Structure 1
Amino acid sequence: RDAFEGLRLMDALIGVKRGVPGAKLPELKQRRVRGTAAVEVEERPEEGHVRSDVAVDNPVPAPPFWETRIVKGIQLKEYASWLDEGALFKGQWGLKQVRT
């Protein structure tokens, strides 16, 4: 119902787990579920497991390396057009536009 319901539940769980005197889990709440209309499913004749004609025996390619690597020597002008300046300045750095 609100953002703190999960926090209250976690506090109660931790209290019970740690053996805090008087700590107990809240009573289970009955949820109301709206009735839905029955959906009719088309019956298909049993034809076994019909699969698509996509090949499943393709080999999985192995990556050239598993660890991380640092690439040096790339000029800023080569990747500057790929940067999302709005996400960088507003999202990552938390800068806000000054209203005048």
Structure 2
Amino acid sequence: EQDLHEIYQGEVRYARDAFEGLRLMDALIAVKRGVPGATLPPLKQRRVPQRDTPLLDLTEPEPPVRSDVAIDNPVPTPPFFGTRVVKGIQLKEYASWLDEGALFKGQWG
């Protein structure tokens, strides 16, 4: 919240969760409507001090590390590409695999 407040010209507020967000919006609406005594909560102070140096030193790149994964493994070839229509299978052979809940609720609503 404090970091964004420094670079953004408008009002910046942070809410941890939906309930805090609702309280914040109530306060914001009350201020906009001119309710007497209505104010926005103060900006939250930064808990961690701001660093002057970056966490990573990017000036000297590290040499790339090779993994120990073998790259000479053969890639298997699939038996076919695309789709195939299989005919001659009876409904009773695959009906037990169907998820009726997903079929009726998910697909048909």
User: TM-score when scaled to structure 2?
Assistant: 0.39
Structure 1 or 2, whichever has the larger Rg, is 2
Higher relative contact order (CA 8 A, sep 6+): 2
